[in-house]
Amino acid sequence: MKLIIASNNAHKLTEIKDILGGMFEEILSMGEAGIDHETIEDGSSFMENAEKKAREIAEISGCCVIADDSGICVDALDGAPGIYSARFCGRHGDDAANNRLLLEKLRDSDDRRAHYTCAIALVRPDGSCVKAEGYMHGVIGFDEKGSNGFGYDPLFILPERGGLTAAQISPEEKNRISHRAQALHALLRELGREE
């Protein structure tokens, strides 16, 4: 059976292929499958966006499709930026501006608790859908540290990793503990492939 990942993000593709590789004969990115489609992510939750992406690509391809939506949720900001994480500053994918805005909004806050959320949806050709979520908990630091990772990783401190940020640990370690890894393992449990 073939699986299409509704993404062309190299980090995401590697992580998904590593964890789900044994379940499918072939795992392809949208680009590798020859699909050029942009889903409008207008859902009100991570899961709505993930399922919408997966369903649209499944309809186009006739294959099993997996999609995710993820972001950072900050307690003191009532869960913001949440589904708007990638465009928190008003421009999509401007990590530096997003991080500056987050620090500015938390300037007078003592509560720095936050978590990354990842929602994953796997849609089969018959339209059935399996869903799972994963989380990575931490706190928001006061300045950026580390050069690994992307997005909010340089600000996201992992207390159980000795106070290192997600951008200071190795990509391999992050992939073991990340919100996406947690969601993928939860998905495997939903599919009955993991204890």
Please list the active-site residues: 69
Neighbouring CB atoms inside 10 A of 3's CB total: 20
Instruction: Respond yes or no on whether the N-terminal peptide bond of residue 125 is cis (omega within 30° of 0).
Output: no
Residues 6+ apart with CB under 8 A from 141: 112, 155, 156, 157, 165
Amino acid at 103: L
- What does the alpha-carbon distance between residue 149 and residue 167 come to, in Å, rounded to a whole number? 5
